[in-house]
Amino acid sequence: MDRISIYGISATGYHGVFEHEKRDGQTFIIDVVLHVDISRAAASDNVLDTVHYGEVSELVVEQITAGPWDLIEKLGSEIADAILAGYPSVATVDVVVHKPQAPIPVPFTDVTISLTRHQKQHSAVIALGANLGNPQATLAAAVAELGREVEILKASPLAITKPVGGPPDQPDYTNQVIQVRTTLGPHELLDLCQKIEAAHHRTREVRWEARTLDLDIITYDHLVLDDERLTLPHPRAAIRGFVLAPWSWMDPDAVLDGQLVSRLAEQAADTADIIRL
């Protein structure tokens, strides 16, 4: 994992067990190291694709000036939690809190605490489909490739389905649904899916055209998201039998938008033509 390091962020805080520390305040100095994949930013050269270290520094200062807390252990934990909550792409953060003016009755240079915190794990449902080449082998390869970056929790049986929409006279699709656990943020997971699609020569010239591989993020925790790249939950998942049926086979208790996936599958127009392998 790549790293972004910021050393020596300082501000006045009012943390300490003594009353005068909370009253008068003192300087706290913070070092943070962010473990994050910077390959997307390196390719795009766009600040929006990385963790803005100026913003992180301001966030750290906000935590220094918050509180007050008795212990710098608490301050360090608050800083780490704030960074992980604000930047899902940060997989791990290291925080060092320096308290050089600590009330110690002997000569000393510095007092520090160091801690490491990891991003919480997220659960996502991904739908896979293919109808060119050898679809079953392609789906198996795609699941294996995903498994090198995320943890595969469940995988549905394969389904043979009729094409829905798009150009006529397409071959039948092979579909599958998997559930994964990951520290990747939703856009980072989308990047991974698109990278794997590209490795299998996926093209996007005609909407709903025949394809070597399609990977769609259906849900990501309970996140509701709608931006230029990604909508969650997937906007058409609730009417797609080729997603709902294998999902219900994998997880009979799954819920989408407050409704049982198995019931939605029964209602989907294309479910009747699905063959379970």
Angle at alpha carbon of residue 11, lines to 6 and 14, rounded to 5°: 130
The three-state secondary structure class of 209 is: coil
CB count in 10 Å sphere of residue 94 = 17
Q: Cβ(166)–Cβ(206) under 8 Å?
A: yes
Angle at alpha carbon of residue 187, lines to 186 and 191, rounded to 5°: 120
Q: Which of 99, 120, 154, 162 is catalytic?
A: 99
Cα separation, 275 vs 159, in Å, equals 6
Cα separation, 137 vs 129, in Å, equals 11
Element (H, E) at 83: helix 72-86
- Lookup result for tokens 């803005």: 52
Nearest to 149 by CA among 112, 172, 122: 122
* Tokens coding 130: 């293919």
Q: Is 154 a catalytic residue?
A: no
Catalytic residues, by residue number, are 99
